[in-house]
Amino acid sequence: MYPILFQWGPVTIHTYGVLLASGFVTGLWVAARQARREGIVSDRIVDLAFYILLAALVGSRLLYVVVNWSWFAGRPLDILKVWEGGLVFYGGLLLAVPVGIWYVRRKGLHVWQVADLLAPSIALAHGIGRLGCFSAGCCYGIETDLPWGVVFSDPHSLAPLGVPIHPTQIYESAGELLIFAGLLFYRNKKTAHGQVFAAYLLAYGILRFSVEFVRGDEDRGIIAGLPLTMSQIISLLLVVGAAVALLRLRGKEIGSKQ
């Protein structure tokens, strides 16, 4: 709704970037606190977070560019304009996971324990970041006549102007914040490392799969003629994989061979 937060001469501060950074810092604070409770040096989590952030930014932008290559093919410099929106969360996740595993193993930490520790923070940071998407108008929804449809009017917005559309960014932000609260509760109930992270993937996969039906941004990445987007295909794979992981971890205990 407000893509530009502040502008003074040649200096422009985009709301999208501010909220993205706010989500990262808030999520990092939550993760560092939990690390101390679990006897993990918080500095290692801070270092890990910056590796993950870099990988996530690169991966999320690359997937967005690949899905929308018809646009970027003739505008290669636009690939660098991340402040205008255009980051696909799944692309970031797919690159951040192997980078995170590499760092955690290098430091001699338990991969699944750290994954559980980070899961609520990922949901929280993503929820705040989606508000940045709303401000920029990216990731917008299809037209709707529902009473909560939103109308974008700022000419700097990436969403269509003057028509009521689904506030898909708000749907996902609200869903992520609910997932964050649920994971905080589940974290205290888990019996084995890996359960919280698997629960996050399961919950987010369902959320994202559902929201995709009312996304309206162009080039959604229809796969091989199927009536599903690339993000929905990835969501289904995550849901199945996470459900299998939760079933396999059921009955196991922390400290047992997982």
For residue 220, is it within any domain? no
Contact 231, 188 (CB under 8 A): no
Q: What is the mean pLDDT of the segment spanning 43-63?
A: 88
For residue 196, is it within any domain? no
Contact 192, 258 (CB under 8 A): yes
* Alpha carbon distance 149, 142 (integer Å): 10
Q: What is the mean pLDDT of the segment spanning 161-185?
A: 97
Of 13 and 102, the structure prediction assigns the larger pLDDT to 102
Quick one: pLDDT at residue 101?
Answer: 93
Quick one: pLDDT at residue 86?
Answer: 65
* Alpha carbon distance 254, 229 (integer Å): 37
For residue 218, is it within any domain? no
For residue 231, is it within any domain? no
For residue 251, is it within any domain? no
Quick one: pLDDT at residue 223?
Answer: 58
For residue 183, is it within any domain? yes
What percent of the chain shows pLDDT beyond 90? 59
Name the one residue in this structure whose structure tokens are 């500095």.
43
What sign has the CA pseudo-torsion 201, 204, 206, 209?
A: negative
Quick one: pLDDT at residue 255?
Answer: 56
For residue 224, is it within any domain? no
Model confidence at 54: pLDDT above 80: yes
Quick one: pLDDT at residue 258?
Answer: 52
Q: What is the mean pLDDT of the segment spanning 240-245?
A: 96
Q: What is the mean pLDDT of the segment spanning 105-134?
A: 94
Q: Read off the pLDDT band of 114 (50, 70, 90).
A: very high
Q: Read off the pLDDT band of 85 (50, 70, 90).
A: low
Q: Read off the pLDDT band of 17 (50, 70, 90).
A: confident
Quick one: pLDDT at residue 9?
Answer: 79
For residue 31, is it within any domain? yes
Contact 120, 3 (CB under 8 A): no
Which of 128, 64, 55, 134 is closest to 95 using CA atoms? 55
Q: Read off the pLDDT band of 83 (50, 70, 90).
A: low
The mean pLDDT of the chain is 87
How many domains, the chain?
1
Quick one: pLDDT at residue 173?
Answer: 97
Residue 143 phi/psi, 5° resolution?
-65, 145
Structure tokens at 207: 């959320």
Q: C-alpha distances in angstroms, 75 versus 21, 65, 240?
A: 26, 11, 37
Helix, strand or coil for residue 257?
A: coil
Model confidence at 64: pLDDT above 70: yes
Domain that holds residue 112: 4-190
Contact 197, 116 (CB under 8 A): yes
Pairing verdict, β 4-8 and 150-151 = unpaired
